[in-house]
Amino acid sequence: MTARPRLPQPEPRVVAVECVGTRVPVSAIRLAELSRAVLRALKVSRAMLSITFISARAMARLNRTHLGHAGPTDVITFALGADPGGVVMGDIYVCPEVARRQATAHGVGYREELARLVVHGTLHACGWEHPDDEARTTSPMWRRQERLLRRFWMTPSRTA
């Protein structure tokens, strides 16, 4: 009896990245890899996430419709929970225009801010939360976000 050839196993952490009506200066592959690295760090064994970069106008519509807020925001995550098989699911929307303004205001690079929002959205999809007030940037979620960003994005070869 001959052994059956082993078929490659599909990636258990599926992350799809796309741009709708906007562009970003980072490859979709690199951003998907970043999100998958965060999922692995959180010990999420199976996930299906979509990360979509959208215009300020589209983000403002999402923000008004789903959160009741006026104007565009940086990132909105719809954490869809886990299905009965334990697969974490979520949709993450990022607005590059807001990310660019935030990067300038905080003195960080635009690509770094886009990466920060991908990490932030991935954490939300996995159930992490933070306060909405000024305590946001000192919350456990924010501290975890910054550690993950340093670990997976700002390695010595990527910061030069």
Residue 106 confidence (pLDDT) above 70: yes
User: To the nearest whole number, what is the mean pLDDT of the chain?
Assistant: 90
Q: Which pLDDT score is estimated for 83?
A: 74
Residue 9 confidence (pLDDT) above 90: no
Confidence category of residue 8, pLDDT binned at 50, 70, 90: low
Residue 139 confidence (pLDDT) above 90: yes
- CA 18/CA 57 separation, integer angstroms: 17
- Percentage of the chain surpassing pLDDT 70? 91
Distance set, CA 72 to CA 57, 62, 111, 153 (Å): 7, 8, 19, 25
Residue 157 confidence (pLDDT) above 80: no
Q: Regarding predicted confidence, which is higher, 11 or 43?
A: 43
Distance set, CA 94 to CA 31, 35, 43, 45, 51 (Å): 12, 13, 24, 24, 7
Going from the N-terminus, what domains does the chain have, and what CATH number goes with each?
Answer: 13-154 (3.40.390.30)
Contact 91, 50 (CB under 8 A): yes
Residue 6 confidence (pLDDT) above 80: no
Q: Calculate mean pLDDT across residues 35-57.
A: 96
Q: Which pLDDT score is estimated for 1?
A: 59
- Our measurement of the distance from residue 41's CA atom to the centroid of its chain's CA atoms, rounded to an integer in Å, reads 14
Q: Which pLDDT score is estimated for 158?
A: 45
| Of the candidate ranges 3-12, 43-52, 97-106, 134-143, the one whose mean pLDDT is the lowest | 3-12
